[in-house]
Structure 1
């Protein structure tokens, strides 16, 4: 909690997501990634009483008085107990949660993450995301962003819906077979999130020239499987200063990242993130290319869902200004056969031929806004 917030001492209330439970010799407060374990049984009762006291809006001063005068707790212990609630994001502003609001459950998540929900929601409403690729991952990326309150989406895809898409591209139906993916996806997004402005660009796989013709966005999200698309987008974004993120799969691995923020993080070319044919053996390189030319990815709905969900979480963190994106300076992968987490460093290389000329910027992390 900031010192300015304590000075103002506005009334706060217990967050709806707070639960308490005892397991063995430990009392757990909060649960989830921010749960706090209290092993001293003498603190259990005053802590639980304090937690219950905040079911109604209270100021910090009122809470300390309650602990001293009602619970008979000494001042240092009272301060420590109150800090336990504050440091665990267990307290929210008195009117931070409105169950009738469309985004109320997301608001609780943002508060749990230590952010002010209305600020996060406003940033999302002002954001424009450009999505390259409307297939299995793109379907889910677009639907999650639109329903989360992102204000503007531009969908770019030149493909048409095929029957084989329906195993994982869940916003399409059998009646949509043969129609442009971008148009169908836009139709479905408007049905679900009328407050999101959705526009479409139906065309062939982007090249450097067509990328320059695209509208500028706060973030470009790539879920297209065109050969070389990541390198093209990376060069375009480094040149234009736009943030971008890749979401894909490698057979049964759900992959997302790195989140590239030109001038602040590494770019796609700073580190070797993918295996490629050898540059010093043309004959072997040609043979490898001939084998790879017949490759068809075994696209699977659950793998698509995992990659898209984790990528969207990072997009929301970046655009909403809370937490730290997992893919910042890292390419992330979840091996779905054993749920192992894999990471590849994408730290900035001062000698990178693509982004070395960009002056590094120094700014506080998004979550510190």
Structure 2
């Protein structure tokens, strides 16, 4: 790093006892440094983007004559490696055009705040999105919001698939359609509308019903991730197909939906507990004979919107690694009981053909 600078969002604060907090008050991002000698505070105060690393080391040794070169270099290196520091001399990557730098400037600010991995220029997450190809299967309540969010975020290639036409009952929650679209193919309307939102990304679509596992395998061929937002075939089957075919393809996938006020998203990836293991673990917790609630027609714009945005967020985290949320879990919330957050995790089963020992994805 040529000219270290503390990220603006992470300005440090020093307490009376000498402890230094860096990262603000954001849960999961802030850190505290035990700094009895004031070395970290002095180094952070000097990191304003005007001094190269060698000059920082020299200035530290001027402030603290007893500090050796090795200790000063170590202090600077540890702070740089913490992820709260960026390179003030870095230039945006040439792969992003000036209009993209402006369009995604708020994305950049978000990723800079939450990303604690040292980066070359800070646009790595946006580049990862630009290079990605995502299949969105299902363009209803969840999928329409997810597709819009992914297009707005700058995912480079989106392929949108749905077998249905727009109906009047869709309009209370499905964000890509209007009254003039009733009777038209959802995929066709969605592609046109998404292109209007972001002409810099490649949007394709197909009116297609996925009825077999081989059809799903064909659909995700060459994709970097699947956003599963369809609810047909009903029940467990479609998600099992996604679980196994994405494992065979070596790509992550996210699936979300709603059941009344309960909104959830699951995210899975190779090397982590799979959908079938997480589902089996959760089923084992229920009383024997308890029926599974697979949802119903009860949904409003907010529950569908939250569902779709949770799916889009899961896709973004897996494509960029920012934030580094491990897959193999189901998360969500209950809109009529805000204190009831959902966080379901279960380990891989030994006998699982997808994520257990000796797995082959069949």
Question: TM-score normalised by the shorter chain: which range applies?
Answer: 0.7 to 0.9
Cα offset, 1:22, TM superposition: 7.2
The 8 Å contact of residues 331 and 346 in structure 1, kept in 2 or not, is answered as: no
Matched, 1:269 2:276: yes
For 2:316 and 2:305, how far apart are their aligned partners in 1?
A: 16
The 8 Å contact of residues 260 and 268 in structure 1, kept in 2 or not, is answered as: no
Q: What does residue 5 of structure 1 align with?
A: none
Question: Secondary structure in 2 aligned to 1:332?
Answer: strand
Matched, 1:91 2:81: no
Cα offset, 1:40, TM superposition: 6.6
Q: What does residue 309 of structure 2 align with?
A: 309
For 1:309 and 1:66, how far apart are their aligned partners in 2?
A: 47
Please, what TM-score do these two structures have when normalized by structure 1? Answer: 0.75
The 8 Å contact of residues 97 and 107 in structure 1, kept in 2 or not, is answered as: no
The 8 Å contact of residues 128 and 152 in structure 1, kept in 2 or not, is answered as: yes
Deviations 1:277-304 (A, max 9, x none): x9x9xxx99xx79xx79x6242233333
For 1:96 and 1:162, how far apart are their aligned partners in 2?
A: 50
For 1:42 and 1:167, how far apart are their aligned partners in 2?
A: 61
Query: Structure 1 residues 275, 159: closer, same or farther in 2, change over 3 A?
Result: farther
Q: What does residue 157 of structure 1 align with?
A: 162
Matched, 1:138 2:132: no
Q: Tell me the matched-pair count.
A: 336
Q: What does residue 15 of structure 1 align with?
A: 7
Query: Structure 1 residues 27, 305: closer, same or farther in 2, change over 3 A?
Result: farther
Where in structure 2 are there 5+ consecutive unaligned residues?
93-97
Q: What does residue 231 of structure 1 align with?
A: 240
For 2:216 and 2:6, how far apart are their aligned partners in 1?
A: 48
Matched, 1:60 2:53: yes
Q: What does residue 365 of structure 1 align with?
A: none
Indicate which of 102, 119, 130 corresponds to 1:125: 130
Cα offset, 1:129, TM superposition: 0.6
Please, what TM-score do these two structures have when normalized by structure 2? Answer: 0.77
The 8 Å contact of residues 172 and 185 in structure 1, kept in 2 or not, is answered as: yes
For 1:353 and 1:248, how far apart are their aligned partners in 2?
A: 26
The 8 Å contact of residues 157 and 181 in structure 1, kept in 2 or not, is answered as: yes
Q: What does residue 114 of structure 1 align with?
A: 116
Cα offset, 1:307, TM superposition: 3.1
Deviations 1:100-143 (A, max 9, x none): 54323323333441343333333322211111111222122112
